[in-house]
Amino acid sequence: MAGVRASLLCGVAAALLASAVLAFVEDLDDTFKETRVNDIWLVDFYAPWCGYCKKLEPVWNEVGLELKSSGSPVRVGKMDATAYSGMSSEFGVRGYPTIKLLKGDLAYNYKGPRTKDDIVDFATRVSGPAVRALPSKQMFEHMMKRHDVLFIYVGGESPIKEKYYDVASELIVYTYFFSASEEVLPESVTLPELPAVVVFKDGAHFTYDEYADGSLSSWVNKERFQGYLQIDGFTLYELGETGSVYIKFTLIQRVAKEYREHFNRDFQFGHMDGNDYINSLIMGEVTVPSVIILNTSNEQYFLPSEPIETMEQLVQFISSVLNGSAQVQIFFPFQFPLLLSCWPCLRAV
């Protein structure tokens, strides 16, 4: 009898816990458009029959619990996009699940990994100010430890500051943006002039040059990645949106560092574990280890005509892609049903 009672108590406790978690995720209907105005919302637009939506549901409940318990101003909701198709269309929902953060008149799409930590980080970043102040050296050092890539505006009022704030409002979905006085920076950092936009990454810092780098938005979009990455499906999709060309190889870190001035404007360096993903993408066989250059913006890829064994050969191969002498091959991501079912976000590539 005692055992039965204990089981019943455990069952009741579990049910209460589940109810408490679900209470932090609000079911939304067609009145949402009018009631949402004064709040910041993180919304999952789903379809009841969607397998990815069902897989996201327990993660979404954890997101609601985490944001509520941390005191975040972000309210978490979910909407059946098939039942409220008109409302979903107004928010630009074209696939399931679609995650959006709604802040005033702005709507920010989430395209990252569907994990609790990644989604919570996105919500925390986007719900706050587009540009955060770094008032002290201690705060600067703290942020350097937390972030692999750090953008900072240094200086007073200026036209470039206005552009920086506009870019931050646009690209905060991907990374944080900060502002600081020159005194906050380490003594080893010397800026050519003020005001300046600086990115700290890869153990160094790089300053935006309006004449050499073009638009600030394009420069930030390119520099928000580390010089050398481990690439997966989500990273490859994000890189595709920058319009750059991407390389993977096990020993190209030297080229990424030593030839930054030559190739940084056009290439993103990185590596990918195994060859399954890349083989499915190009519908071919790439041996391991190997090097391949992908341009996902126009579905092109390049393979060296002979094995690359030295840095000089790698530099020559990259240069041949830049000057147009390398042989172009084509892949078609929209022809991969398996890829699309696993990574539906790649439909837009």
Dihedral sign for Cα atoms in the order 293, 294, 298, 300: positive
Residue 53 known to be catalytic:
yes
Domain ranges of the chain: 17-127, 132-223, 228-348
Dihedral sign for Cα atoms in the order 223, 224, 227, 230: negative
What is residue 343's predicted lDDT score, i.e. its pLDDT?
28
Catalytic one of 10, 53, 342, 345: 53
pLDDT digit string, tens, across residues 140-185: 999 999 999 999 999 999 999 999 999 999 999 999 999 999 999 9
Contact (CB, 8 A) for 297 and 330: no
DSSP class of residue 184 equals: G
Residue 234, strand partner residues? none
> Which residue is it, tokens 């055992």?
3
What is residue 17's predicted lDDT score, i.e. its pLDDT?
43
Q: How far apart are CA 277 and CA 274, in angstroms?
A: 8
Note whether 132-223 and 228-348 share their fold: yes
What is residue 256's predicted lDDT score, i.e. its pLDDT?
79
3-state helix, strand, coil in the chain (%, to 5): 45, 20, 35
Q: How far apart are CA 248 and CA 271, in angstroms?
A: 4
* Parts of the chain with a pLDDT under 70: 1-23, 228-251, 274-275, 277-278, 280-283, 287-289, 296, 331-349
Residue 342 known to be catalytic:
no
CATH superfamily, region 17-127: Glutaredoxin (3.40.30.10)
What is residue 215's predicted lDDT score, i.e. its pLDDT?
94
Maximum distance among all Cα pairs of the chain, rounded to whole angstroms: 82
DSSP class of residue 328 equals: P
CATH of domain 132-223: 3.40.30.10
What is residue 43's predicted lDDT score, i.e. its pLDDT?
97
Whether residue 48 has a cis bond before it, omega within 30° of 0: no
What is residue 342's predicted lDDT score, i.e. its pLDDT?
26
How does 221-240 read in b/e, with b if 16+ C-beta sit within 10 Å? Answer: bbbbbebbbebebbbbbbbb
Q: Classify domain 228-348 at the CATH class level.
A: alpha beta
Q: How far apart are CA 51 and CA 32, in angstroms?
A: 25
Torsion of CA 88, 89, 92, 97, to 10 degrees: 40
Is the full-model pTM beyond 0.75? Answer: no
How does 69-81 read in b/e, with b if 16+ C-beta sit within 10 Å? Answer: eeebebbbbbbbb
Residue count of the chain: 349
